[in-house]
Structure 1
Amino acid sequence: MPAARSGLLFLWGTPRSRSTAFLRMMLERGDHEVYHEPFSSIVVQGHATVGDATATSHAELLKLLDERARDRRVFVKETTEYDYLGNGGEDIPATGVHTFIIRDPRSVIPSHYAMNPDMVCAEVGYGHQADLARRVREASGATPYVVEAETLIAAPAEVIRGYCEHAGIPFLASALSWQPGDHRVWSRTRPWHRDVANSSGFTEPQRTYADTVENNPKLAECYRCHVPHYEFLRAWAAR
């Protein structure tokens, strides 16, 4: 069922879930004002910029985004390694349209660990993602839209067409490909987005990692912790 019309559209994903590739597609569309991880910017650097304004709390950030979306389309891509609901973001689920992207934790966890060997298990993010999705369902009365990254890579046109229908925005086939290049919008976390910067569409970089959920006890424990949350959200994607 299509979402209720709103100018404010969120995509929530764990780190390494292909969410920045999705954001790159939204940049290519050119019909949304695009924000990259402003809630985590509040956590990491204490502030985030929305238009000409600066927010220093999650509540203030949400208010600014909502106001910004009153006369334009706004797209916000955010990662779920932090607990925003418990840190001033209690009104997030009831504001805007919320969508989610998931990727198999067998792929996500080694990739995250390669970027951040000091990660703690909660930062993998599926628990926070699932909690937020449940709260969105409670607030809206409808199951939120969940995209599987693997399906997106395999059939981008089909997946994006369905996403656009749900979000109430036009499907633009031309946005499924783009010129490689870096973008200022993700400058704060640039090292995490080299694959997207080098990409020209939704593709799966061929990477192998020395540490996996099969051979590293820390990663294996993270997998056991997060796979139930992933499977919970995957059931929603299957629907």
Structure 2
Amino acid sequence: MTVSTMKIAMWSGPRNLSTAMMYAFAARGDCAVWDEPFYAAYLAATGIDHPMSAEVIAAGEADPAKVAAACPGPNPDGKPLWYQKHMTLHMIPGFDRGFLRGLTNVFLIRHPARVVASYSRKRESPTLADIGFVQQGELFDQVADMTGAAPVVVDSEDIRANPAVSLHVLCAALDIPFTESMLRWPAGPKPFDGAWAPHWYNAVHASTGFDAPEGPLPDLAPEYAGLVEAALPHYDRLRQYALGA
């Protein structure tokens, strides 16, 4: 695939460095970005109670077939790269996944203890389905079956430990040039943020680059131990494919 036609689909769960990664690619200048294309369709189909649900549905496309058709379509603004920030949990049963064949699929992972600690501060009582680890593994396998090879995996812990090196390696794996501009972005909301940004993006709006390396795993409330235990095998399986692992 040439740079002139590349659509990069970055698949992650929530609270997974996904917005910072979107900002990094947007900062390149040669890359359009799309923030969680399936969010409105996911909420409309499931009726699940999320913060700002009505606003998200009103602002987005609720027909998953239309979203799926747009993902491998023409790049916005004529830019050579199109970065699509996707949430694995949005790909519920019944949503067609054939569009994955037209994308360069990458999987962004994070240790479930860190995900649960961050997510539970924004939305109480998360379930395994809410944090997307099972769905991430399923999508990884589907892409591998479609392409005949394991797709690219990158761990958010590695990115935060050394953003320049990790993004160099990621860009090399995608066969696109790395640019130093990926390491910095202006503080504040962005015009391409999704409608849900006022609830979820406070920390990244205060940032101008990637946060410092992560410390020890967080201490969690006892009721979340089982959730982390259930998610951990899915993280560990993809971790073995991570760049630099």
**TM norm structure 1:** 0.85
2:237 corresponds to 1:229? no
2:77 corresponds to 1:77? no
Q: Secondary structure at the match of 1:76?
A: strand
2:68 corresponds to 1:62? yes
Residues 47-196 of structure 1 mapped to structure 2, 5 A cutoff? 55-69=61-75, 72=79, 73-84=81-92, 86-190=93-197, 191-196=199-204
Unaligned runs of 5+ residues in structure 1 are: none
Superposition RMSD in Å: 2.6
Assess if the C-alpha contact under 8 Å between 2:40 and 2:61 holds in 1.
no
| Corresponding residue of 1:19 | 18
Offset of residue 177 of structure 1: 1.1
Cα distance between partner residues in 2 of 1:12 and 1:229: 14
Structure 1 pair 193–175 and aligned structure 2 pair: CA distance change class (3 A)? same
Unaligned runs of 5+ residues in structure 2 are: 46-56
Count of aligned positions: 228
**TM norm structure 2:** 0.83
After superposition, give the CA deviation of every residue in 1:168-203 in whole Å (9 maximum; x if it has no partner). 222111221122111132242212111111111111
After superposition, give the CA deviation of every residue in 1:12-55 in whole Å (9 maximum; x if it has no partner). 11101101100011111121221000112221257698xxxx74
Assess if the C-alpha contact under 8 Å between 2:36 and 2:85 holds in 1.
yes
Assess if the C-alpha contact under 8 Å between 2:11 and 2:108 holds in 1.
yes
